[in-house]
Amino acid sequence: MKSFITLISLFLFIGCGNQSEQTQQQEQEQAVQDTTTYKKVGSIEQMEPELSQLLDIDAQLEVLGEGYEWSEGPVWVEEHQFLLFSDIPNNVIHKWEEGEGVSEYLKPAGYTGEEERGGELGSNGLIIGQDGSLILAQHGDRRIARMDAPLTDPQPNFVTLADSFNNKKLNTPNDLVQHSKGSIYFTDPPYGFEQRGDDPAQELDFQGVYRLTPSGEVELVTDELYRPNGVALSPDEQTLYVGNSGSEEPIWMAFDVAEDGSTSNGRVFLDPKEVVNEPGGPDGMDVDTEGNIYSTGPGGVWVITPEAKVLGIIRTGRATSNCTIGNNGKMLYITADDYLLRLPLK
């Protein structure tokens, strides 16, 4: 009996020792991570008390990277725990990873032609498709394309998913989002053209929002927006949000989405001029699981409820292009001019 008790005690001692070693290792890993200090910028402007339920209103943004010509299109890759984002003028996609920093991921990213040309050539919006592949809105090649390579071994090999409408070449696709049933909604302003809306290469006489169906057909959602830009879907996928940028009519739009993916009832969701009198317009956006919209707009990133109530503005101090939610909902990543930023979420 005494030997049996001794054996149990020894087992418990070894088990506690292993647990203690695991705890020490976790604490050491956390300590290493905590020693990574980032420059802090910006501030939080709270407009409604509910904002404090989503984020720390006293927090500042961390600068994860800087020095880009124009950062855009961030997407969090949950499977591999890294972030991808575009630097459009330099025709490159960068990768950011905790502990590794920023590195070049893919080049060329948006223009694969050999002839030199002006304009914004790179990729813009990025998503991880349902099949786990990288799908890009490519300014330079004027198409929605899929990278024909694993995420962990990127190559500039692309498969065209959409590049025309009614037998006319698309403008310069900008942003995109995918429905769970396969449809991809995307915007097509002229920002990638050398002469923007007056470029002779433009074949369409409007700037559209489109739906790429699972069967590969391109359907028009609307041709009535001056500069359709960022897009996002509500958590129940019954509402499509579209940011209209530019100086003509900077607004957020909303469209009803039917079960088959078709859209209807386009309407103004929010007019930023009714909230603040500042330059700038809506651009890229993301939506959390509760339906709150995080969208770039005048001054930074706006936090908006599904009822179009503005809770506050995350002020970046930079012209702000896009944002995405990552780390299983715990982090907001923001591209703002020459910066890559992040802000913890609750």
Query: Residue 119: its pLDDT value, please?
Result: 86
Query: Residue 200: its pLDDT value, please?
Result: 87
Query: Residue 108: its pLDDT value, please?
Result: 98
* Domain count along the chain: 1
How far is 169 from 212, CA to CA, in rounded Å? Answer: 15
In the chain, count of helices (H) and strands (E)? 1, 28
| pLDDT < 50 stretches in the chain | 1-21, 23-35
Per the structure, the complete domain to which residue 82 belongs is given by 38-344
Query: Residue 199: its pLDDT value, please?
Result: 85
Q: CATH no. for residue 103?
A: 2.120.10.30
**Containing H/E element for 101?**
strand 101-106
In a domain, 251, yes or no: yes
Encoded tokens for 203: 């074949």
Query: Residue 197: its pLDDT value, please?
Result: 78
In a domain, 15, yes or no: no
**In 10 A of CB 24, how many CB atoms?**
10
Query: Residue 117: its pLDDT value, please?
Result: 85
Query: Residue 53: its pLDDT value, please?
Result: 98
**Residue 212, SS3 per DSSP:** strand
**Residue 210, SS3 per DSSP:** strand
What's CA 336's distance to the chain center, in Å?
12
Query: Residue 305: its pLDDT value, please?
Result: 98
**Containing H/E element for 164?**
strand 164-165
